[in-house]
Each structure stands twice: as structure tokens, then as C-alpha cells.
Chain A
Amino acid sequence: MGVGGRILRGVERGAAFEIEVDGRPVIAHEGETIAAALIASGVRAFRHTNVQGAPRGLFCGMGVCFDCVMTVNGVPNVRTCVTPAEPGMKVETQREADW
């Protein structure tokens, strides 16, 4: 647990709420991307690859590489680095390319 974390000084965040990641609650703030909320709570592997089953996480951080994709509210391949978290969102780790 816990290599990343929120920077507390110098900013006031939006309201906090919970999202559900693989069945477990994770705190997110209004406006935060799903990836940022996960990294802030120490989660780094967002999916496992199709061929090698290897873990992958945030890589480009700008929607180019598609390595951070997860299944969000049942929709696969959502880029978590550019998608804001919303209250009650259900986020799941992808085990294979769902497409």
C-alpha cells in the first residue's frame, strides 16, 4: 500500500465521495480522474494483459497509450487517466482486452 498520495497544501479539492473498485470502496474527489484517485489510494495495477497476464498501470497520463483502461459501469476500455470519477462509479480491473 501507499506509494502515491494527495498533495494537501496549496489546493482545495471538490467534495469527497466513494467509488467502488473491484468491490472495494475508494475515496475520490469531484473532478479527480479515476487514475488519480486510484494512485492516491496506493493502487497501481489497473489491468492485466491478454497474452502475458502482466499488470499495467498509468503510463502516458494523457489518453494516448490506452494502458490505464478499466471497465467503468460495465463499459470496457475506459481511459482512467482522462475520465473523471463520479459518485458510486463501479470500476473493474480488466483481465483481458474486452473488445
Chain B
Amino acid sequence: MLETDVAVVGAGPAGLSAALHASQAGARVIVVDEYTRPGGQYFKQPPAAFRVLDHSAMGRDHQLGFDLMRRLERGQIELLNDTLVWGAFEPGTLEIYRRGECQQVRGSRIVVATGAYDRPMAFPGWTLPGVMTAGAAQSLLKSQWVLPGSRVLMVGTGPFQLPVAAQLVKAGATVVGVLEAGKVSGWLRQVPAVWSHLDKIAEAKDYLGTLLRARVPMMYGWTILEARGSGQVEEAVITQVDDQWRPVSGTERTLQVDTICLGFGFLPSLQLPRLLGCSSRWDPHLASWVTGHDQDQRSSVPEVFVAGETTGIGGHDVALVEGAIAGVRAAADLGLLSAEEAGKRLAGLRPDLARHQGFADFLNRTFAIRPGIYDLIREDTLVCRCEEVTAGAVASAARQWEGNLKAIKRVTRAGCGQCQGRICGQLVAQVAARATGKSVEELGVDTPRPPIKPIPMDALATLA
């Protein structure tokens, strides 16, 4: 059993920021992270054996990430990398799997900063090799310096498509098109000046400039209908969509591609906070559940703080400030900061959070998923990739069990596979909602059961 003042789960922007602020206040901190190197997705570092010569290829904020990592090395912070949190059975205690063994980490306070992942979108052919998330493509480019393909189609919605498309172009790929389902051309001009996010606007314009010079078609009001190929992606059938993102028949076109990147925004990672008993709330713009919290980032469980994308998709700026608030508040809880000192530090952070959150809310509203996109899913389209369960099977179970998600899972096995519903959960809920005429919100949110990440049985035996 490893004991500490503050146990942080996740070494991305929110987790690192929480760890540094708690540590600065004098707390002993353990950070648990699944990956080999800290940074999470946003500050993902290349392998230690790589030497990056062209730092501009890493994006604007990677210097900020490197600075964070350097401060992490200097602080009183223990990083457990390559470590999975797979369960939680007692308050304050995390079950971890590390180097072939199961152990516990007990923190007087816990900060959950488990981040987010690309929102999966199902359509015929989405399981073919060569169809991947925009995040997967960016990770290959930025961290591994490998091109995911040669002729790439970007499909989805939101500003994250732009940096990935621009990075693909710079690395030498042909981007055959960027399909934005929303009819949001000119959205950059609508950013309210009060947030003065000029840096972000300039960044987006930079990416657009790169795409324009490479003559990449920017197609607003278009999306994918089907991916085709034998053994891997060879063709993409694309379609125009209406205001609700329903495909408009008769507008189909076929493109020769070897790679399709899906960038439909992000979903908060909810498994661990739910397992810890933290309550979730429905976010209509994200069309997803998010982990609830008060203004100090405290969840419904008093010893558990939540920060970053698990609380809603806000980007790294929001994550850094939320992490800082959680770190300060956790240290104050343990008596390491006076109420006055904690209040002073928190008051300094709140205006930043409001500014960044305002911009994030604007993006989430502008690029909100429209329900017609789920028309892409046909009867025989797989929604659960692990257990190979079709939308038809889910819909029929949903009708039989009146949309009860637990029953649908038991009957169809959708969500029982290795990803534990992370990929299919939202798709199953959408299909079940349509089949029953209920809203996704009405269907509620499933609570996962441990292990929330698969661990070897022989490692479990080391527990006994």
C-alpha cells in the first residue's frame, strides 16, 4: 500500500497542474498515469530516444508542456507511469496494476483527471483498418513521427480537425478533403472579443492558411456515408447533410482514399469517477454525461476532486486552471494552507477559468453534435466493435427492455468487451433512445464494474 496526501490520476494538463499546485502547498503527491511518459494527450511527448529538431511541428503549446514536465521533475511528486487504475473498493483507495502486480494507492484526497477521448461515430465500414480517430492520427504524427496514410480524408466537426489536417499536409500526406458537418464557415469571426483569445484565432487561421495553400477542399455541410475496401479502406462515400446533419440523398460522391480520420469532438472519460461514486450531469451541447463538481472542483464525493476533460470538454487551458484549483483546494482540506491563503490563491485562478470556459462553451455550442448524424448507423452497422454487436440487435433489445441500458448490455453483450463500453456506450445509448422514443438523458448513465481496464488474471491473484 502506497500512502500519500494527494493521489492524482492522469498526468495530462489537469493532473499535472493539480499535482504541482498541491505539491507547492506542501502536500506529498503521487501521480498515477497509464502511459510511459507524462503529458497526457495534449502534451504528448515523443519517445525519450527521439530528438525533435523541428519544434514547430509539435504545435504551439508544447513548450508549455515541456515546462510543466520540467517542474514535475523538480517537485516533491512521485510519478507512477505505465500504471493502470482498474478498481476502487474502499474510499480513498485506488487499485492499481503496475509492472505485473496489483497494489493500492491511498490518498487522503484524490484528484481524478482522466481526460477524454475522441467521440466515436459509427457508419458502414467504420471498423475497416485505415479508419481511425483524428486523435490517433495526430498521435502518430506528433509523437511517433509516422504518417498514418497517404491519401487522407478528414471527417467530423469542430476546430480539432484543422491542426490534424495541417500537420498531415506538412508531413507530406495528401488531404483529399476536410468534411465539417456543421455549416459554420466563418465561425472564427463570431468569437466574442471579450475573451480576447486572439492567440487561438491566429492559430486556427494559420492552419486554414496551410490547408488553403495546399488546395485542400474545406467542405461545410458534408460528412461520411460509408467506408469501403477489401481488408482496408480504399474508398469513402461522402454526402451532404441538412441542418440536423441528416444525409441528403442524391448528393453522394465517392473518393479514393487510404485513410479516414474521424474528428467528431471528444467524450469525457467517466469510468473512474463513476466507480468512485462521483455523480454525473448531462451536458446537452456535448450530448454526453460529464462529471459534476462545485466551484472548488470537488465532486459529489467530498474527498474526490475532478479536473479537466472528465468534467466537460474545455481544452487544455481550462484543464490547467481546474487542476490548479483542485490542487490548492485539496491541500487546503489537509490543513496545508490557511483558509486565507487558499482563498487568495483560488481568487487569482477563477477569472482565468471564466475566460477560458467562455471560449470553450462557445466552441461546444457552435460545433454541437446534431442528431441526424446518427442516421449514418444502419441495421447491420456494428456499434460495439469488441463484441461485434449490430445496431439492429441493440435496437431490438432496447424495444424489448424499454431502453434499460443494463438489460441491453446483458442481452446483447454490447459494452462487455475489452474497451468496457468506452467506444460503444454513447452509440448504444443513441440507438436505444431512437428505438424507444426516449431521450439519451432519460436512459441514464451506466456505472462500470471493476476491472475498468483489463488486467491479467495472474496479477489479480497477487492480491489475495
Interface residues of A (CB under 8 A from B): 3-7, 9-15, 29-33, 36, 39-40, 44-46, 49-52, 54-67, 69, 77, 81-82, 84, 97, 99
Contact = CB atoms under 8 A, between A and B. Distances in A.
Interface residues of B, number: 54
Nearest to A6: B146
Contact of B50 (A11, A60, A82): A11
B52 A11 contact: yes
11 contacts: A3-B150, A3-B258, A10-B54, A15-B49, A31-B46, A52-B388, A60-B423, A61-B132, A62-B41, A77-B454, A84-B36
A55 B51 CA distance: 34
Given A3-B258, A57-B132, A65-B423, 8 more contacts: A36-B140, A45-B129, A45-B232, A59-B132, A62-B117, A62-B135, A62-B136, A63-B34
Contacts of A59: 131-133, 136, 385, 423
Q: Would you call the interface of chain A mostly helix, strand, loop, or mixed?
A: loop
A5 B137 contact: no
B96 interface: no
A65 B454 CA distance: 12
B237 interface: no
A11 B54 contact: yes
- What does DSSP make chain B's interface, helix, strand, loop or mixed? loop
Given A63-B34, A64-B422, A58 B136 contact: yes
B133 A36 contact: no
Given A44-B130, A59-B136, A77-B418, A11 B146 contact: no
Contacts of B47: 14, 30-32, 84
A60 B118 CA distance: 7
A64 B148 CA distance: 18
Nearest to B456: A75
A63 B151 CA distance: 25
A4 B233 CA distance: 13
Please list the 3 inter-chain residue pairs (A to B) with the smallest Cβ-Cβ separation, ordered nearest first: A31-B47, A61-B136, A14-B49
Nearest to B128: A55
Given A10-B54, A45-B231, A59-B132, A3 B422 contact: no
